[in-house]
A and B are shown apart, each in its own frame.
Chain A
């Protein structure tokens, strides 16, 4: 039951639509449907946004779960890092594209872009670049340089970790959740029809 509504939402509807959370999380389908995003022939904003998000999530998993196994230098084969390299491509391409969009003011939202809107992409870009540099130094045996770069890398990571859970990270989850709950609600409404409204298909008339 939703507060203030006469329509109940059975528990099984929540289970039925649960697939929508990972679906929207990993495909960002709604983002691709936005009017301004559809104008691009190859859906470039969507592809790069998806690349950035998948790269970010992959890198987060690699750092959180596999950091110990992957922090050897030239001793392990570079092919082991393949997921990290793919994630880096997504992060570099995504951050550069979105920084460029903010510079060029290509969309309406960037024309009034606030300083805080830059922090996300600029910090992420700096984290990626310093991370890649550190990795190169590490693998080529320049350990002192690698350590210095790692310190710089952490200088960007710490403010990022302090700030991001309350800003950009939240939209990683609330968009899929919003799509999930609205889908559950719509299903319940079309079954309940408590407002005396015709179900959804009437809109085609």
Chain B
């Protein structure tokens, strides 16, 4: 018999768990299980008082293992592990039973849900009895940082890190810095000059002693693990890298800020982009504005300008997401067109007006005061553009099924501006593969956690910022770039990095050198020792997914913290009593 003293804490999660699972019945059941020294229920176990209660109980009641029956470990495992560390207990002598996502949220019958919660909690207790104290591994942190992409996000992050005294390698594919922002004239809603926003940054970067800038370059190879990456930078078109800096660089962290590309408007054939000469995209209008004249292809000042929103965005056919910046950019064009051609009639044809940010609603109001004709159309009922007849005093006519009035409205247009949305770059797949991060169905890079880890990825030491993650405006992009830089600075400040103690290990005596695991590892964490003919797992890269453990035909790979005994004990906890659970209801 194991002499462990287990403390079990059952969270109500407000009413998230307690409204379905009878936590008092669960506590009574758990109290009767062997080795359980203490059972407590609490409204929010993850709150500071909840954690303090656990710390105090560990000290006062000499608990040596803890089980928390609450939400998903993805959400709060770290929180509770920290509490164990505070109390002086090894953080791995802990297990979570997920009675929220896997129980109260997915079941409707309180009786059945309570029975299932009993099994889940008992399985966790069964498992924690076999947990062993594990020590985290420390590795040195190289203070150099690689920034991929020289747009506003990349420049901001690079300066932030370089100003803190760290060497930054900034790699940009184009022959200039500034990214998509360098193609813009003014920014919404305060109409600041985009040029002013980036010019000062470019000047500082080119003269900064801590920044090595590589233009027309790309990262060709990327290897290693957090704190100890190496990258090879090569110039596109086979040219040599300028500035005399090294081609092979050692870095500790990476920020990927590769940005977006605009939607190709010719994919929506019935807008006639590419066929009707005066149907242009928002970036082509920007070019005109920057050149100082808004005119049709024939060189005339337009009397009627129509702006169509959501081109390529918010459509099941192309991209279902909202590109977030188009509404305010369209309103910005209203102001710019009106100030360039005061007698011009501007129509703004939109699905919904998304004015979500600071100052945006006021900007929307100001735009409506300059006599803009706003027309709302249904998502699946796009406006139709056709050439005007010889008797009309305009180039084109646009038919809109106006949603608010319910009428079919025809408006004249000499120039039609398509507000093209953002989409992931074509090379986002290559970049993701290079630095070992994931992409979603639309090609955007995936964060480690969309709410709690918005700039981290599942690969430690690789951060993402800006519009390569999802469409966003300049303030959000800059905020993400600074957040990524801050995350890296805090890691560098420690000098060493602690790597999770949960990883897989190869028993070299049993390894046959078949290399199945090398091919299967999704994190490229397994290397092969050619001399000794066996595989080796880089613990800092391993995420303990268990793929190699399951695949190894020689059973030479073991998962720390996921041993066969621990997993079987957990399964046994679930199997016992399953039939009773069913028949008693």
Indicate if the CB atoms of B572 and A189 lie closer than 8 Å: yes
Chain A stretch 181-205: residues in CB contact (< 8 A) with chain B: 182, 185-186, 189-190, 195-205
Indicate if the CB atoms of B33 and A182 lie closer than 8 Å: no
Bound form: Cα–Cα A54–B341 in Å: 75
Bound form: Cα–Cα A5–B564 in Å: 8
Q: Which residue of the partner chain B has the closest CB to A30?
A: B582
* Cross-interface CB contact of A7 among B118, B572, B578, cutoff 8 Å: B572
* Cross-interface CB contact of B129 among A195, A198, A205, cutoff 8 Å: A195
Indicate if the CB atoms of B118 and A203 lie closer than 8 Å: yes
Which residues in B have their C-beta under 8 angstroms from that of A204? 580, 584
Which residues in A have their C-beta under 8 angstroms from that of B571? 185
Bound form: Cα–Cα A4–B581 in Å: 26
Which residues in A have their C-beta under 8 angstroms from that of B122? 197
Indicate if the CB atoms of B565 and A5 lie closer than 8 Å: yes
Indicate if the CB atoms of A200 and B577 lie closer than 8 Å: yes
Which residues in A have their C-beta under 8 angstroms from that of B580? 200-201, 203-204
Nearest CB in chain B: distance from A19 CB, A = 15
**Knowing A4-B563, A35-B107, A35-B109 touch, does A197 contact B576 (C-beta < 8 A)?**
yes
Indicate if the CB atoms of B564 and A3 lie closer than 8 Å: yes
Which residues in A have their C-beta under 8 angstroms from that of B118? 203
Bound form: Cα–Cα A10–B117 in Å: 30
Bound form: Cα–Cα A190–B572 in Å: 10
* Cross-interface CB contact of B575 among A35, A182, A196, cutoff 8 Å: A182
- B519 close to chain A: CB less than 8 A: no
- B108 close to chain A: CB less than 8 A: yes
Bound form: Cα–Cα A186–B251 in Å: 53
- A117 close to chain B: CB less than 8 A: no
Indicate if the CB atoms of B568 and A4 lie closer than 8 Å: yes
* Cross-interface CB contact of A182 among B29, B112, B569, B578, cutoff 8 Å: B578
Q: Which residue of the partner chain A has the closest CB to B564?
A: A4
Q: Which residue of the partner chain A has the closest CB to B112?
A: A35
Which residues in B have their C-beta under 8 angstroms from that of A203? 29, 115, 118-119, 576-577, 580-581, 584
- B579 close to chain A: CB less than 8 A: yes
Chain B stretch 73-125: residues in CB contact (< 8 A) with chain A: 107-109, 112, 115, 118-119, 122
* Cross-interface CB contact of A186 among B35, B107, B578, B582, cutoff 8 Å: B578
A–B Cβ pairs within 8 angstroms, 8 of them: A4-B563, A4-B565, A186-B575, A189-B575, A197-B126, A197-B576, A200-B579, A203-B581
B-side interface residues toward A, CB under 8 Å?
Answer: 1-2, 28-29, 32-35, 107-109, 112, 115, 118-119, 122, 126, 129, 563-569, 571-573, 575-582, 584
A-side interface residues toward B, CB under 8 Å?
Answer: 2-5, 7, 33, 35, 182, 185-186, 189-190, 195-205
Can you name 6 extra interface pairs (CB under 8 A) apart from A5-B568, A35-B108?
A3-B564, A189-B572, A195-B34, A197-B34, A197-B576, A202-B32
